[in-house]
């Protein structure tokens, strides 16, 4: 029995360490945001300079980074239910993440097909999704 409790304790301890290691801080998020802003600039350069490789490197960073974005620990643990709901709106965040990734793929495809106008439209749809979070979810 005692051994069993120690085992359970060890599992719980390991679980907590893993959870803590997964923590997402404000600094992490700001860094991810800046990475995405740079990726968007790269995509824009690719469109202007007619360079698919630059576009691809931008969409690749964008897609890898957007999936990391989420509420930071303080927001998840917020005692104010309304604020918590506002900042940790997982459903909306997931939807935005999916859309950004989809538009990034389409942008790349359209540009590769020689349709820069459609590619640009996808670009503005991506910015629209960024702003959706900044404005609607965050009330900026």
Binding residues for ligand HEC, rule: CB under 6 A, are 26, 29-30, 33-34, 36-37, 40, 62, 66, 69, 93, 96, 100, 126, 130, 133-134, 137-138
Residue number, 87 or 110, with CB nearest to ligand HEC:
87
Taken as a whole, the chain contains a residue count of 140
Closest CA to 62 of 28, 113, 103: 103
- Nearest distance, CB of residue 49 and ligand HEC, angstroms: 20
Q: Decide whether 19 or 138 has the Cβ nearer to ligand HEC.
A: 138
Using the minimum distance from each CB to ligand HEC, give the nearer residue, 47 or 96. Answer: 96
The H-or-E segment that residue 23 falls in is none
């Amino acid at each position: 029995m005692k051994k069993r409790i120690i085992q359970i304790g060890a599992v719980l301890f390991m679980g907590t360490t893993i959870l803590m290691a997964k923590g997402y801080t404000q600094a992490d998020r700001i860094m991810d945001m800046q990475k995405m802003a740079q990726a968007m600039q790269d995509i824009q350069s690719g469109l202007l300079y007619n360079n698919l490789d630059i576009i691809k490197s931008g969409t690749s960073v964008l897609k890898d980074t957007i999936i990391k974005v989420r509420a930071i620990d303080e927001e998840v643990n917020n005692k104010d239910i309304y604020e918590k709901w506002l900042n940790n709106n997982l459903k909306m965040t997931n939807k935005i993440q999916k859309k950004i990734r989809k538009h990034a793929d389409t942008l790349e495809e359209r540009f590769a097909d020689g349709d820069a106008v459609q590619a640009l439209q996808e670009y503005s749809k991506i910015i629209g999704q960024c702003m959706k979070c900044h404005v609607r979810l965050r009330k900026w």
